[in-house]
């Protein structure tokens, strides 16, 4: 079954949106298989956002994501990567439609509430950066 990495960013944690965000994905029928509240070290932030290194906003991005706790998650489900991206909404606030997480809660391109992997390759890479294999659980989803 497909897995993806997502995290509620420091602005989402500070605004007490963790429960609402988790609830949306649960209601959709996706399954949480890993989660932790953590403060990201600068070295991990630089690795995670490696593809943006050199862009004008890279410093700001690393500074923000390490500024407070994030809620890191691994979700599992049929087509979870594409579905979660649709549910998060576009990165640019003006393009994030109402009904999406960013569309309903976000106003800024940097402080945009949530991150989610954009491809199977980035999901595998990001899950590996944030979680050890033994931190992910398997369970019967049909109960």
Backbone torsion region of residue 54, taken as left when φ is above 0, otherwise alpha when ψ lies between -120 and 50, otherwise beta: left
9 belongs to an annotated ligand binding site: yes
Pattern of binders to ligand CMP over 7-46, x per CB under 6 A? ----------------------------------------
Integer Cα distance of 44 and 56 in angstroms: 19
Does 50 interact with ligand CMP (rule: CB under 6 A)?
A: no
Q: Where are the alpha helices (DSSP H) in the chain?
A: 10-14, 18-28, 42-48, 58-65, 80-88, 101-105, 120-130
31: annotated active-site residue: no
Binding-site residue positions: 9, 57, 85, 91, 102, 112
- Note the residues at the interface with ligand CMP (CB under 6 A): 52, 57, 60-61, 91, 109-110, 112, 115
């Amino acid at each position: 079954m497909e897995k993806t990495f997502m995290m509620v960013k420091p602005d989402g944690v500070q605004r007490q949106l963790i429960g609402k965000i988790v609830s949306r994905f649960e209601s959709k029928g996706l399954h949480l298989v890993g989660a932790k509240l953590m403060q990201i070290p600068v070295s991990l932030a630089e690795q995670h956002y490696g593809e943006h290194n050199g862009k004008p906003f890279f410093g700001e991005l690393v500074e923000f994501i390490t500024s407070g706790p994030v809620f890191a998650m691994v979700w599992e489900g049929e087509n979870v990567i594409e579905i979660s991206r649709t549910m998060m909404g576009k990165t640019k606030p003006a393009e994030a439609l109402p009904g999406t997480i960013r569309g309903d809660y976000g106003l800024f391109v940097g402080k945009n509430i949530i991150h989610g992997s954009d491809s199977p390759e980035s999901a595998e890479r990001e899950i590996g950066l944030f979680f050890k294999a033994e931190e992910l659980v398997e369970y019967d989803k049909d109960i």
